[in-house]
Chains A and B, each alone.
Chain A
Amino acid sequence: MDSMSQAKLDTIKDDALTQFKAAPNSKALYDLKVQFLGKNGSLTEIMKEMANLPKEEKPLFGKKVNEVKSLLEQVYIEAEEALKKSEIEGKMAKEELDLTLPGYTRPAGNQHPVYKVTEEIFAIMARIGYSVRTGPLIEKDYYNFEALNIPADHPARDMQDTFFIDPTHVLRTHTSPIQIHSLESEKPPLRIIGTGPVFRCDSDISHLPNFHQIEGMCVDRKVSMADLKGTISFFVREFFGAGLKTRFRPSFFPFTEPSAEVDCSCPICKGKGCSLCKQSGWIEIGGCGLINPKVFHHAKISYPDWQGFAFGFGIERMGIIKYGIDDIRLFPENDVRFVRQFLP
């Protein structure tokens, strides 16, 4: 074999290897590729010299050139990969961001706690078959009082300080008129939840003149106090948390008989006694009872063929208990710092 050609091939190989490795960037590397491996590159040139070689040496030389070529191609690919990698690293280093800067977003709005509580209670009760109803805020005296067994000049009217619109219309003092509307327009069996704003002529640090209630009514063939207790107990556990107990105390509402005040074990101290429950371990959450037959009579529902129970809660109060809101007057102020605290 021609030692000169061999020496030339070796030189090309060594030069190429050295230069490939030293290439500063992918552009320079590519230029080197063209210089050594291109159409008019060094290896193509040396292949041309093969014509001058003796016939028997040609295959060997050809083989050697090809070996160098594939070696160089391999080295090129490796060098190129290494270069690209370091180049992208450099680029990313330059693009470094301070991720402690605030995020880019338009935050979703928050739900007012009154409606958050409403929706939670609604969702819980819907699971056991209650459907939601609403009613007018300016209510006929009949629906707000008479039909609920609170006749005119009855002392039970003193229990609710009433705003009057005219002698026969009031701003509803409770959501219970919704029960009557439902009894009049729908056929039992019924399970309904009535909710919305109510009004009482009363404003101080613990009362709003315009607040919200939610109440439930179940009318069926056979309904007992035990059913009522079980229903409320279910609700309390779902709304305030498992493990809380429910207690009934005898009370009086003209539209239920028997009537009960509902206490649940204090969700803050779990019944041990704290400032919220005034050390009693119990907290009053609402009222309930079996629907008074007189109410059925007004609504022209046949009793005892149909029986029922009803219960009601103050929504602001539920919010105060569940979220520890310390001032009821925050509800109508709508300070965004207040509303923002109620997570979806």
Chain B
Amino acid sequence: MKISLKWLQDFVDINDYLKKPEELGDLLTRAGLEVEETINRAKDFQHVVVGLILEKEKHPNADKLSLCKVTTGEGVVHQIVCGAQNHKANDRVIVALPGAVLPGNFVIKKAKVRDVESGGMLCSYKELGLAKESEGIAILPTDAPVGKSFAEFGGYDDVVFELKVTPNRADCLSHFGLAREIACVLGRELKPFTSKLVLSGDSTRKQIALEVKNSDLCPRYAGRYVKGVKVQASPEWLKKRLEAVGMNSINNVVDITNYVMMELGQPLHAFDAKFIEGNKIIVSTAQAGEKFKTLDGTEVTLKGTELMIRDAQRPVAMAGVVGGQNSGVSETTTDLFIEAAYFLPMAVRKASRSNGIETDSAYRFSRGVDPDGTVRAMDRAADLIVQLAGGTAFGDHHDFYPNPVKKSPVEITVQTVSDRLGYTADETKFAEYMRRLGCNVSGGAGKYSILPPTFRFDLEQDMDLVEEYARLNGYENIPESLPVFAESPAVHDKTFMLNLKLSQMLRGQGFSQAFNYAFVGGQAQKKFIGRIAALKSAGFPVSEEDIKVLNPLTEDTDTMRSSLAMGLFKNLTGNFHQGNHFGRLYEVGQCFYKDNSEYKENGRMALLAWGHSAHLWNQTPQHPLVFEVKAAVEAVLRNLNISSYTWVTPADKGEVPSFMHRGQFAQLLVEGKKIGYIGTLHPVLMDENKIRVPAAMAEIDLEQLYKGQPRPYRFESLSKFPAVERDFAFVMPKNLKIGDVVKEIRKNGGGLLTQVEVFDVYEGEKVDAGMKSVALRMIFQDKNATLQDAQVVELGNKIVESLKKQFALSMR
């Protein structure tokens, strides 16, 4: 909200701050009314003054230049070279003297122009940034006072604050309101607000009847009739004040209603009385489906909950939000009905939000307008209208106010203030501050009953007054202490801590952390994942029905994600096209699903690896990346002490999500339950996105993964007896899963078989087509004795025999 300091001056003396507005701004900011920007136009016009051309001659060395002698008062004469043609001797002009800095950072200094000294510049409005185009230099009226600063002469000496008013301080949404706050903060007098309105003997109430049907939504409604006005342009002073606070001038009547709103914070509406059908105003809620055309011609269909101002036939305004096109003030208006009301804040906000109409009026009403200021504002407007638009203000105004708003007193002790602030509050100061705030103060000896003024909607309980004391006494005076340690020790959220641990493991595996939005594009996600059943098959809790965002920013963020995969794939695309042809990323985050109309979240981790690193200068790694991802997942399993797991390839390819390679995909089974998948990204997907390096991914359900954590473990004593290694090579069908073979070996190896390693897999000329050769190393060790050769041979034979029986394989 824009605040003009000159306007503030009408209500509080801040003369001493006009030269140092930043100090006043700082003071307000420290009182909780943040001044976001100080617009000081006078600064643009420093060293720019009104001058009088004494003589004008041709420049001796240039045909198109003139040489002027210009006085800026008190006998000071400057010689100035000028390129314009439209001036003559005795003209009053705007002179930028050395030291001035014009818009565009144009510094004025003494200079020689074609060998002649020039001590300044005669300015055009364009050069001063006041016009887009201008013909020659500005020639001022003959009464322009020579020597006066141009800022002052042109009315550009106002300073405007851009004020950020928090929703609790509606009382500061006007010049009068802010002046009241400044008076309170500085301990100064607020200048009294007086009205000189002269009323005629005619009765408003006889002219226009009033009926308020919903007094709960409209606790107060006042109105006054003004007859015989002339709608025309506003005077300059009014235009300038509105311009200073960022409002456009429309006509004198509309400008006055806006002016009073900016001055007193009370939104007003002026109806053209001739359009009030039946000479009656009815305040009641709308009928659902009823149509209403606002001032600017927008037609809205009313919901039925809006409070409306109606005449005998139709709605003429949406209460507190916007006027109707059918009854607005225009050039042909002669008689007015001025409305000033107190509408219930929530009702106005609801009407404004639900119809998408935001106005300065709705903004103020929904934050709270002083119910005690209604008539004052109405009469301020009537007064200005009579002054500027003529006409007669009728007496006997409407003031429907059956249940005057009463504030409740707040009981408070000074001890409470001290306790809650952590320093000793001063009782004298406390009472003084409360009085300055406009409260009615009673009590003493540390115990008070404080009745806040009606305009302070936010003062309801003792803590509100504690804040006021703290604010007026300065937050900088709050000391620093540390609270005594709570008696209960910290117990952290288990999942959060496990996530930290998991993150550390994944980083140890070379993966860097990513963060993606929890929402994705619904259409894109459907296409990316394919059948949601594929995610279900991998063990994730998912729902067929997506969780949609009702009001998304874009269609790329309209659905809560079902998988982390799409986000990471987006990161892959982005990275690859940025020239990052190698990378490892992981993400730990929430996925979403619906369960019996309840919204549920499922923690997941996902890994993405793309490209091979230039590992070492003398070798180029060729391994399928999915094995790198697999190794990382297995490292996590090992670190979480999960030993019972297997990788299975679903027989039904429909269980492979659309983004995965159908031949390079496996699901992870932990203790018999599916908890995720690994796989290579689908070649077509890679091709479509022009990613030219291999990439693999994994996604794991963390709720399942974290089951039973921390899993306790105990130290196992180290065997003092030697281990025996035996290598075996088998020829087996290509489609036989080595994992199954190893499982069978372990089953038969028993406790003496401590390790099985695959150290070679060969397919090619040396074995039959459709077959592969697999070399395995088994390590045997007895904890309690030296293994005998015969034992190892026997165990080896047992393993081989069982394998031959189980699978179609042979020793090589």
A positions within 8 Å CB-CB of B: 101-102, 104, 106-112, 114-115, 119, 126, 128-134, 136-138, 151-156, 158-159, 163-166, 169, 171, 189-191, 195, 197, 199, 201, 203, 209-210, 218, 220, 222-227, 229-231, 233-234, 246-252, 257-261, 290, 292-294, 307, 331-337, 339-340, 344
B31, B167, B583, B586: the one contacting A156 at CB < 8 Å is B167
A109-B586, A131-B491, A337-B580 are known contacts. Are A252 and B571 too (CB-CB below 8 A)? no
Alpha-carbon gap, A191 to B496, bound state (A): 16
Q: Given the known A-B contacts A197-B518, A224-B421, A337-B578, are A126 and B492 also in contact in the complex, defined by CB atoms under 8 Å?
A: yes
A289 nearest CB neighbor, chain B only? B467
B483:A251 contact, CB within 8 angstroms: no
Q: Which residue of A119, A159, A258 contacts B466 across the interface (Cβ within 8 Å)?
A: A258
B367 at the interface (CB under 8 A from A): yes
B499-549 interface with A by 8 A CB criterion: 500, 503, 506-519, 547-549
Q: Smallest CB–CB gap between A329 and chain B, Å? A: 12
B515/A332 in contact, CB under 8 A: yes
Find the B residue at minimum CB distance from A153: B346
A202 to chain B, nearest CB (A): 8
Judging by beta carbons under 8 Å apart, are B580 and A250 in contact?
A: no
From B99-107, B469-477, B658-666, the one touching the partner chain is: B469-477
3 closest cross-chain pairs (CB), A and B: A226-B422, A250-B32, A224-B422
Say whether B509 contacts A163, CB under 8 Å: no
**Nearest opposing residue in chain B for A316, CB measure:** B515
Across-interface contacts of B617 in A (CB, < 8 A): 101-102
Residues of A within 8 A of B507 (CB): 108-111, 344
Contact partners of B553 in chain A: CB under 8 A? 201, 203, 209
- In the bound complex, residues from chain B placing their C-beta under 8 Å from that of A203 are 553
A260 to B578, CA, bound (A): 43
What is the minimal beta-carbon distance from B565 to any residue of chain A, in angstroms?
14
Measured in the bound complex, the distance between the Cα atoms of B497 and A131 in whole Å is 10
Chain B residues near A292 (CB-CB < 8 A): 463
A119, B493: Cβ atoms under 8 Å?
A: no
Cα A151 to Cα B453 in complex, Å, equals: 23
Known: A164-B549, A165-B549, A209-B553. A115 touches B575 (CB 8 A): no
Is B13 interfacial (CB-CB < 8 Å)? Answer: no
Q: How far, in angstroms, from A332 to B574 measured CA to CA in the complex?
A: 11
Can you list 5 residue pairs at the A/B interface with Cβ under 8 Å?
Answer: A115-B503, A171-B518, A210-B518, A220-B483, A224-B419
Q: A164's contact among B353, B497, B551, B599, by CB below 8 Å, is which?
A: B551
Give the Cβ gap from A203 to chain B, nearest Cβ, in Å: 5
Closest to B488 in A: A189
| Chain A residue, CB-CB nearest to B554 | A203
Contact with A along B27-43 (1 / 0, CB 8 A): 00111101000000000
Residue on A nearest B617 in the bound complex, by CB: A101
B165 closest partner in A (C-beta): A252
* Cβ contact within 8 Å between A250 and B475: yes
Contact of A258 among B367, B467, B483, B495 (CB under 8 A): B467
- Given A131-B490, A231-B483, also A250-B616 (CB < 8 A): no
Smallest CB gap from B632: residue in A: A109
- By a CB distance below 8 angstroms, the chain B residues around A107 are 510
**CA of A131 to CA of B485 in the docked complex: distance in angstroms?**
13
B445-482 at interface with A (beta carbon < 8 Å): 458, 461, 463-464, 466-467, 470-471, 475-476, 478-482
Do residues A137 and B518 form an inter-chain contact, with CB atoms below 8 A? Answer: yes
Q: Is B487's CB within 8 Å of the partner chain A?
A: yes
Count CB-based A-B contacts (< 8 Å): 257
User: Given the interface contacts A132-B496, A225-B420, does A138 sit within 8 Å of B560 by beta carbon?
Assistant: yes
B374 contacts chain A at the CB level, 8 A cutoff = no
In the complex, chain A residues whose CB is within 8 Å of the CB of B495: 134
**Closest Cβ neighbor of A111 among chain B residues:** B513
Bound Cα distance from A230 to B422, whole angstroms: 11
| Known contacts A109-B584, A332-B516: A191-B490 contact under CB 8 Å | yes
In the bound assembly, the distance between CA atoms of A220 and B347 in angstroms comes to 38
Q: Is the CB of A163 within 8 A of B552?
A: yes
A134 near B346: Cβ-Cβ < 8 Å: no
Q: Report whether A227 and B518 are in contact in the complex, using a CB–CB cutoff of 8 Å.
A: no
Which residues of chain B come closer than 8 Å to A335, judged between CB atoms? 574-575, 578, 580
B166, A165: Cβ atoms closer than 8 Å: no
CB of A290 within 8 A of CB of B463, answer yes
Distance in Å: Cβ of A213 to nearest Cβ of chain B: 14
Residues of B604-663 whose CB lies within 8 A of A: 613-617
Q: Are B420 and A130 in contact (CB under 8 A)?
A: no
The answer to whether residues A257 and B503 also contact, given A137-B518, A226-B422, A231-B483 and a CB cut-off of 8 A, is no
Given A109-B506, A138-B547, A248-B476, the answer on whether A334 and B516 have CB atoms closer than 8 Å is: yes
* Residues of chain B contacted by A165 (CB below 8 angstroms): 547-550, 560, 599
Query: Is B257 an interface residue, CB under 8 A from the partner?
Result: no
Q: Which of B380-403 contact A (CB under 8 A)?
A: none
Bound together, the chains give a CA A151 to CA B350 distance in angstroms of: 12
Judge whether B34 and A249 touch: CB under 8 Å.
yes
Q: How far is the CA of A130 from the CA of B464 in the complex (A)?
A: 28
* CA of A184 to CA of B489, assembled, Å: 19
Nearest Cβ in chain B — how far from A217, in angstroms? 11
Q: Is B681 an interface residue (CB 8 A)?
A: no
* B772 in the interface (beta carbon within 8 A): no
User: What is the CA–CA distance of A126 and B509 in the complex, to the nearest angstrom?
Assistant: 27
Asked if B266 is an interface residue, CB under 8 A from chain A, the answer is: no
Residues on the B chain within 8 Å of A224, using CB: 419-422, 481
* Residues of the B chain whose Cβ atoms lie less than 8 Å from the Cβ of A171: 518-519, 549
State which of A128, A130, A195, A209 has its C-beta within 8 Å of the C-beta of B517: A209
CB within 8 A of A220: which of B423, B461, B476, B486?
Answer: B486
User: Please, which residue of chain A has its CB at the minimum distance from the CB of B614?
Assistant: A102
| Residues from chain A with Cβ under 8 Å of B487 in the complex | 189
A239 → B minimal CB distance (Å): 16
Q: Quote the shortest CB–CB distance from B696 to chain A (angstroms).
A: 16
Which of chain B's residues has its CB closest to A138's CB? B599
| Chain B residues closer than 8 Å to A234, beta-carbon distance | 482
Determine the distance from Cα of A251 to Cα of B471 in the docked complex, in whole angstroms.
Answer: 9
Given A224-B421, A293-B463, 6 more pairs with CB closer than 8 A: A110-B507, A128-B482, A131-B491, A169-B599, A229-B422, A334-B571
Q: Which residues of B contact A333 (CB under 8 A)?
A: 571, 574
Partner of A190, one of B486, B493, B496, B590: B486
Complex Cα gap A134–B506 (Å): 22
- Contact (Cβ within 8 A) A166 B550: yes
Does B571 lie within 8 Å of A132, measured CB to CB?
A: no
Task: Please determine whether B471 and A250 come into contact, CB atoms closer than 8 angstroms.
Answer: yes
Residues of B near A258 (CB, < 8 A) are: 420, 463, 466-467, 470-471
| A158 B167 Cβ-Cβ under 8 A | yes
| Residue ID in chain A nearest B497 by CB atoms | A132
Query: Is B168 positioned at the interface, with any CB of A under 8 Å from its CB?
Result: yes
A102 to B475, CA, bound (A): 56
Q: How far is the CA of A137 from the CA of B350 in the complex (A)?
A: 26
Measured CB to CB, the closest approach of chain A to B120, in angstroms, equals: 31
- A112 / chain B contacts, CB cutoff of 8 Å: 512-515
